[in-house]
Chain A
Amino acid sequence: MPPILAIANLSKTYASGLSALRAVNLEIAKGEIFALLGPNGAGKSTLINIVCGIVTPSTGTVTVDGHDILNHYRGARKTIGLVPQELTTDAFETVWNTVSFSRGLFGLSKNPAHIERVLRDLSLWEKRDNRLMTLSGGMKRRVLIAKALSHEPRVLFLDEPTAGVDVELRQDMWRMVRRLREQGVTVILTTHYIEEAEEMADRIGVIRKGEIILVEEKAELMRKLGRKQLTIQLNEPISEVPPALGQYGLDLAAGGSELVYTYDTKAERTGITRLLTDLAGAGLTFSDLRTSQSSLEDIFVDLVRERA
């Protein structure tokens, strides 16, 4: 199946000289929930804004459902719903009007039943006649989501959807994303909350200084999360792992004075007892042991720091 979103060699340099994206390649499958993680200023919003038509790319191509975002922008944009990061709403419009406006803007005829469903799903139905300026920040965020869903998009972009949002809305949002997934909608969200990516995403990408430095299935990342490392500090450095210990997949570290054993805490047997016995059998003595577990957060921080 062709990807619903294909980004090839995409770069963006702003007029100020700031290079926000550098040769980004990314493919998102239909129906997938993809989380783009990265620190502030990493290029997350630039990436989204280019795909949505708000920022012009410097080089590279983007296709959405087979439509090039520049040459076939109508087809591409019809497919997309965007919930921007900033709470930008018209102060004087009512909830109902602003959501209906969005539907019209995307070229669809009126469909009050659909708008009602969207508003009810987002707990906005009671507020439909309220002016936007009377709503709280969380409610405005819901309105922005309703606007994005008003034209039944096949791809939904959520740019930092839960920044500064209360717990209730966050959970509502997660429920909504799951519901959308059931309907086959592809969801791409940016966040700097790891927890959010863990909760919702199928696949996780990490962006740093305009470069995507990691794209991985969440399950794979979580598997790495479930792993621990046992570091064995040897009395005498060795130049290579003795063949007798070959089955453990050990790594040498710290110039040969440390052996690193990676094991799965969730496995039936960790193999630690056997390893320690075999170490003695191979004539190795050790002065210390320590274990460590890397979290997604650690992986993320490491990745981001490495490339800094």
Chain B
Amino acid sequence: MNWPAIRAIYGFEMSRFWRTAMQSILAPVISTSLYFVVFGAAIGSRVSAVDGVPYGLFIVPGLIMLSLLTQSIANASFGIYFPRFSGTIYEILSAPISPVEVVLGYVGAAASKSIVIGLIILATAALFVPLRIEHPVWMLGFLLLTAVTFSLFGFVIGLWADGFEKLQLVPLLIVTPLTFLGGSFYAIEMLPPFWRAVSLLNPVVYLISGFRWAFFGTADVGIGVSLAMTGLFLAVCLGLVTYIFRTGYRLKS
């Protein structure tokens, strides 16, 4: 294992994070606060408790997931796309590092960033509602698993994209809708039966459901199913990354 290289890539990516701390930390804090003001205080006060959880508190796991997904994808995709775009990728390709090490560096950094942001949002949420976390270890576990999985997914997007447009396309057209429709702001059982069935095709449902279970002990689907689905998605992303490195797709001609 070339640990200095992993450290170098990880450190490089993290320094970008701290350099742009204003936008990388402040932006999610502000948008979360706005969600709380609008959904938590203004609308939430008129919404009845869901499964005995006050609405303001109910949306906390979904909000964290929302940021976790978008941040993981954005960080990881940008992290690997930019060197490809600017040409500095030559150094990564010519260095004595294996694909696994490259992924550990980039995906590790992207996941770390989004976990930091997730925890900041959690802290911000604590300012608005009294928090309740029934399974803190599971909560952290889901946080980690989701951050890693979607950072891998973002990494794949960053390798696939051949322009800034494509870099935005997947998050904008697929991930954001899936997250919003994945039960960030409602429980799946609040939907009519047809849409409830459709929702079960949405992988994000399982993430949010599992995460919510870690908070409140109740969920749309069983915790086992949530874990299995997240694991499945992780496996798919790992497979894609392996394929890309094995074939050199979009990396080497």
Contact = CB atoms under 8 A, between A and B. Distances in A.
B5 A104 contact: yes
A92 B17 CA distance: 12
B12 A101 contact: yes
A105 B88 contact: no
Interface string A64-100: 0000000001111110101010101111110001001
B4 A107 contact: yes
B253 A56 contact: yes
Contacts of A271: none
Contacts of B98: 74
Contacts of B96: 73-78, 106-107
Contacts of A53: 93-94
Nearest to A86: B87
A135 interface: no
A88 B252 contact: no
Interface residues of A, number: 35
A54 B94 contact: yes
Nearest to A12: B253
B48 interface: no
B95 A54 contact: no
A56 B250 CA distance: 12
Interface in B95-132: 95-98
A74 B2 contact: yes
Contacts of B4: 103-109
Given A74-B96, A104-B5, A108-B4, A55 B252 contact: yes
Contacts of A147: 91
Given A97-B15, A101-B12, A90 B88 contact: yes
A107 B94 contact: no
A257 interface: no
Contacts of B19: 92
Contacts of B92: 105
A174 interface: no
A73 B2 CA distance: 13
A113 interface: no
Interface in B15-39: 15-16, 19
Interface in B41-99: 86-88, 90-98
B239 interface: no
A91 B87 CA distance: 12
Nearest to A15: B253
Given A104-B8, A107-B2, A92 B16 contact: yes
A105 B95 contact: yes
B196 to A, nearest CB: 47
B193 interface: no
Contacts of A90: 86, 88
A123 interface: no
A21 to B, nearest CB: 13
A105 B9 contact: yes
A105 B5 contact: yes
A130 interface: no
B55 to A, nearest CB: 42
A92 B248 CA distance: 28
Interface of B: 2, 4-5, 7-9, 11-12, 15-16, 19, 86-88, 90-98, 248, 252-253
Interface of A: 14-15, 52-56, 73-78, 80, 82, 84, 86, 88-93, 97, 100-109, 147
5 contacts: A52-B90, A54-B93, A54-B94, A74-B2, A105-B92
Given A74-B96, A78-B96, A109-B4, 14 more contacts: A52-B93, A53-B93, A55-B252, A56-B248, A88-B86, A88-B87, A89-B88, A90-B86, A101-B12, A104-B7, A105-B5, A106-B4, A106-B95, A107-B96
